Amino acid sequence: MLSNSWATAAASALLWISVPAVAQSSYGSQSNSSDSLPTVDLGYEIHQASSLNSTNYYFNNIRYAAPPLGENRFRAPQPPAVNRSEIQTGDQRRICPQASPAWQAIANDFVPEYLTGQTEFNQSSFNTSSSGSSSTPNPAETEDCLFLDVVVPQSILRRSGRGYGAPVLVWIYGGGYTAGSKSGSGDPAGLIARSQDNGDDGVIVSDDGQAELL
Ligand SMILES: *[C@@H]1O[C@H](CO)[C@@H](O)[C@H](O)[C@H]1NC(C)=O
Ligand SMILES: *[C@@H]1O[C@H](CO)[C@@H](O)[C@H](O)[C@H]1NC(C)=O
Ligand SMILES: *[C@@H]1O[C@H](CO)[C@@H](O)[C@H](O)[C@H]1NC(C)=O
Ligand SMILES: *[C@@H]1O[C@H](CO)[C@@H](O)[C@H](O)[C@H]1NC(C)=O
| Residues 182/61, Cβ–Cβ less than 8 Å | no
Query: What pLDDT was estimated at residue 9?
Result: 32
- Site residues for ligand 4, CB cut-off 6 Å: 127, 129-130
pLDDT digits (tens, 9 = 90+) for 126-180: 887 755 555 678 899 999 999 999 999 999 999 888 888 888 889 888 887 788 8
Three-point CA angle 177, 183, 184, nearest 5°: 65
| Residues 177/210, Cβ–Cβ less than 8 Å | yes
pLDDT digits (tens, 9 = 90+) for 145-158: 999 999 999 999 99
Which residue's C-alpha comes closest to atom 7 of ligand 2?
86
52 lines ligand 1 (CB under 6 A): no
How would you list the strands of the sheet with 165-172, edge to edge?
13-20, 165-172, 203-207, 147-153, 56-63, 51-53
Query: What pLDDT was estimated at residue 149?
Result: 95
Higher pLDDT pick, 3 / 26: 26
Instruction: Output the CA 131–ligand 4 centroid distance in Å.
Output: 10
* Residue to mutate (ligand 4; options 2, 123, 129; most atoms within 8 A of CB): 129
Which residue's C-alpha comes closest to atom 13 of ligand 2?
83
Q: Among 28-42, 58-72, 98-112, where is mean pLDDT lowest?
A: 28-42
DSSP label at residue 57: E
Which residue's C-alpha comes closest to atom 12 of ligand 3?
122
pLDDT bucket at 22, cuts 50 / 70 / 90: very low
The pTM of the full predicted model, rounded to 2 decimals, is 0.70
| Residues 39/46, Cβ–Cβ less than 8 Å | yes
User: Is the pLDDT score of 72 beyond 90?
Assistant: yes
